[in-house]
Structure 1
Amino acid sequence: MAADLFSDSRDLRPLAARMRPASLDEVVGQDHLVGDGAPLREVLRSGQIHSCLFWGPPGTGKTTLARLMCDTAGARLLTLSAVQSGMADIRRTADEAAAIKAAGQMPVVFIDEIHRYNKAQQDALLPFVEEGQFVLIGATTENPGFEINKALLSRLQVYVLHPLATEAIRQLLERALRKEAEGLTCDEEVIDRIARECSGDARQALTILEALIQHAQARGLEHLSEADLESLGRSRPHQFDKGGDAFYDLISALHKSVRGSDPDAALYWLARMLKGGCDPLYIARRLVRMASEDIGNADPRALTLTLSAWDTVERLGSPEGDLALAQAVVYMAVAPKSNAVYTAFKRVMKEVGQLPDYPVPQHLRNAPTSFARKQGHGSGYRYAHDEPEAYAAGEVYLPEPLAGTRWYTPVPRGLEIRIGEKLQHLKSLDEQSPNKRYAP
């Protein structure tokens, strides 16, 4: 029978907290950090801990490792949450750390979600770390290269934690079941499903298991099945942090799948974003960008289709409009690819920023008044429609120092094959023309 989780004699902390490892040997996963000969194990073995930053997804052991570092070194742990604290809390904690150090003990300040501190708050930590007033250990789910000030980051050793493997989560769940619910058995499929669906988050997996144990206790069950798991009425959460690393990783995966001409992968990443709660209008805007950047004039219909998908999402909303996004994603994935416009535009924007602001040639200037015409504006302009093939062969539309410069080179795919042929033909007309704007 499941143990009574709410009896007065029990530890009332959440199961995830009760299962927190008391030593490195109890840590599941993160072998690259705590396995034999791994860097963090060697640091703890020496007892000389240092300021560092644990970076990884939720439920991967950041807080656990911080506590183990502190315990192993015999240090005094002070904790702050960047979500709930501010400058006054930092100063108060620094004063407390100074008193601990004066008493002959090493102070360690652990700051959870340190990326939530603003620049001023992060800067406030610098002098304490530099002067060794305390050892700083930070934990973050966000890319420290973007979210942590360079000055502070340069003083922290960064340890990267990975989502736990399914087998590691399984071991943790089985250990918790033996320890917390003696006599309660469980179908292997239940453990497998929890381990598989928690996306490497040990805390989430243990929270689900705790709910199952409570379910068993309330109903006097001695065995749990998948039906019991279903009865919790939970929906599977999807890893997605709007504006964070997971968000940009998913949109990057979608973009690269479209560029790589894999419609199935593109649909998968689109579904992941939608299931995670991403705004469909954001996806629609990004698809428009993809159409111009990676397909361009190889198939101009891609841009029209993505704009139509955007309009459909605005009109219908989600989920009705999501199908239009899927249609656009598949079309772009299988369309011929060209980044010729994208690369040409990047090059010309760079060069315009470096070159002088050449004056507009006289023959290209606007001449709306007789005064402007007397100044030579529009003088010698050749109206292309009055020329053979509607093309003024030999004419130049760039400033003279840039005459002959080419930025756009169509690729031999899709419609750009014909565009390339057209440009080659026009070039031959220029070469044969007796009416060249500038002498060779």
Structure 2
Amino acid sequence: MNNLPPLAERMRPRSLDDYVGQKHLVGQGAVLRKAIESGALPSMIFWGPPGVGKTTLAYIISQSLFRPFFSLSAINSGVKDVREVIEKASLLKEQGQTLPVLFIDEIHRFSKSQQDSLLGAVERGIVTLIGATTENPSFEVISALLSRSQVYILQPLGEDDLIGLLNKARQEDDVLSKKNIKIEEYEALLRLSGGDARKLLNIFELIINAFDSDEIVITNEVVLENVQQNMALYDKAGEQHYDIISAFIKSMRGSDPNGAVYWLARMLTGGEDPLFIARRMLILSSEDIGNANPNALLLAQSCFEAVNKIGMPESQLILSQTAIYLATSPKSNSATTAISAAMALVKQTGDLPVPLHLRNAPTKLMKNIGYGKEYKYAHSYENNFVDQDFLPDAVKGTKIYDPGSNARENEAREKLKKQWGKRYDY
């Protein structure tokens, strides 16, 4: 098997009918499938976690439309590479040939100048761009390029999808189909893969190769024993990147500065983008610290700006300081739970009308029908507070924000009790 491509490559689907997952995009009658079948293909960004089929889907699209497929990786490609591809595409256009699909993996790692170099070709239709990213394209892709592209969100593969992939590999792969493979337990395979189809198949192949005979029984114990011994063998393609950033975030959330700095060093040593690290700390400062220490957000923002200006290697000092500060800060996820509760309430109740006393009254008619009539201006009352309703009538009195258990928010809780009494009994 050493001379063969990896199992994940051998099992790569060749058509939309073989493609696993993303039925909301490529199932019968779905939006992207309609675009493919019509031939009216826009430039697009695929946003989703690793191993859900972004690269495969881009290739299938190009083959379905019989269009040349050009591929670049943002990790090792620069402006020169982009221009060379565009020159090839321009030549195809001059010769009246089919225009290509240009796939850029990890497009979020392209700098602004690299992304700018794509604009002209996309605008003139010389290429149809398909970018793949694991990061929110609103933050990572320049607005000019984003406005010319359709963003499609790819979802993590479900348990049934992943088990189906394993069974398909067992039955259809030229090598595995010759073996008698019995999977008695799936839990460890699924857990270690983290929903990443490529990683799942790599682990599966690693386990198969550990057996000397063609009679193979796979249990959770067998999986864990072999994967722990050979972890590096299936982690060459960069999946560990996502495991390490997870460990970094969880170390800071868990208030362990030692773990935080260790995983930070692992990322920096491995060549991780320092802005990616700074951005993740910025998110954590609100998600896991929030109002327990509002200065965390300020420091994380300053860290992001400083790293952007200074670059490496000096930025490692700033990243270290910030990681330690965030790890040792008091923790609260009250802001996270509050917005989640508010979003759920809005989804449940819909577009409730704004109470009349909270509405603006710029015209005489609006004043006459009661807009703003009962509104009480807080600064006209003692301690700049007055008891009045600020939620729609249908959800009046709903508790959305619940202060965390820390010194700063305990103080906020007592103030709310004093102001709102039983109505806002925290």
Contact map agreement 1:24 1:34 (CA 8 A) in 2: yes
Larger Rg belongs to: 1
- Counterpart of 1:208 in structure 2 is 203
Q: CA deviation at 1:145?
A: 0.3
- The size of the alignment, in residue pairs, is 300
Partner of 2:224: 230
C-alpha distance in 1, partners of 2:286/2:190?
38
Following superposition, the deviation at residue 91 of structure 1 comes to 1.0
Contact 1:242 1:278 in 2 (8 A): no
1:172 CA drift (Å): 0.3
In structure 2, distance between residues paired with 1:421 and 1:215: 63
Deviation (angstroms), 1:293: 1.3
Partner residue, 1:36: 28
- Asked if the contact 1:163–1:199 (Cα under 8 Å) also holds between the matched residues in 2, the reply is no
Which is worse superposed, 50-59 or 232-241?
Answer: 232-241
Please state whether the residue corresponding to 1:186 is helix, strand or coil.
strand
CA contact (8 A) 1:57 1:141 kept: yes
Q: Which runs of 5+ in 2 are unaligned?
A: 266-277, 295-323, 339-378, 387-402, 404-408, 420-426
**Deviation of the 1:27 alpha carbon:** 1.0
Shift of 1:50: 2.1
8 Å CA contact 1:15–1:210 kept in 2: the answer is yes
1:186 aligns with 2:182: yes
Measure, in 1, the Cα distance between the counterparts of 2:84 and 2:62. 20
RMSD: 4.7
Question: How many Å separate the matches in 2 of 1:407 and 1:90?
Answer: 59
- Corresponding position of 1:379: none
Q: TM-score, normalised by structure 2?
A: 0.58
Instruction: Supply the distance in 1 between the matched residues of 2:207 and 2:129 (Cα, whole angstroms).
Output: 38
Match for 2:129 among 119, 133, 136? 136
Deviations, residues 107-156 of structure 1 (Å, cap 9, x unaligned):
11111111111001101100110011111111111110000000000001
**Is 1:72 aligned with 2:64?**
yes
Of 100, 118, 126, 2:111 maps to 118
Match of 1:59 in 2: 51
Q: TM-score, normalised by structure 1?
A: 0.57
- Report the CA distance shift for 1:109/1:224 in structure 2 as closer, same or farther (over 3 A): same
For the residues of structure 2 that align with 1:243 and 1:151, how far apart are their CA atoms?
32
Identity %: 35
CA spacing shift, 1:407–1:85, aligned 2, 3 Å: farther
Q: Distance in 2 between matches of 1:231 and 1:420?
A: 54
**Does the residue aligned with 2:34 lie in a helix, a strand or coil?**
helix
Distance 2:184 2:215 in 1: 15
Quote the offset at 1:287 in angstroms: 7.9
Q: 1:290, CA displacement in angstroms? A: 6.5
Q: Does 2:191 match 1:199?
A: no
Paired letter, 1:184: N
**Once the 2 structures are TM-superposed, how far is the Cα of residue 210 of structure 1 from its aligned partner?**
1.3
Distance 2:23 2:56 in 1: 14
Separation in 1, partners of 2:286, 2:36: 51
Distance 2:154 2:64 in 1: 20
Q: What is the match of residue 306 of structure 1?
A: none
Name the amino acid aligned to 1:129: V
Match of 1:435 in 2: none
Q: Aligned to 1:6, which of 2, 5, 9?
A: 2
Gaps of 5+ in 1: 256-265, 297-321, 339-401, 424-440
Kindly report which structure 2 residues correspond to 1:92-111, keeping only aligned pairs within 5 A, or say none. Answer: 92-101=84-93, 102-111=95-104
User: Could you tell me how far 1:327 is from its partner in structure 2?
Assistant: 12
Which residue matches 2:152? 159
Question: 1:100: how far off?
Answer: 2.0
Amino acid of the residue matched to residue 209 of structure 1? Answer: F
The amino acid of 1:293's aligned partner reads N
2-structure distance, mates of 1:242, 1:192: 18
For 1:53, the aligned partner's letter is I
Secondary structure (helix, strand or coil) at the match of 1:139 reads strand
Q: Using a 3 Å threshold, how does the CA distance of structure 1 residues 287 and 177 change in structure 2: closer, same or farther?
A: same
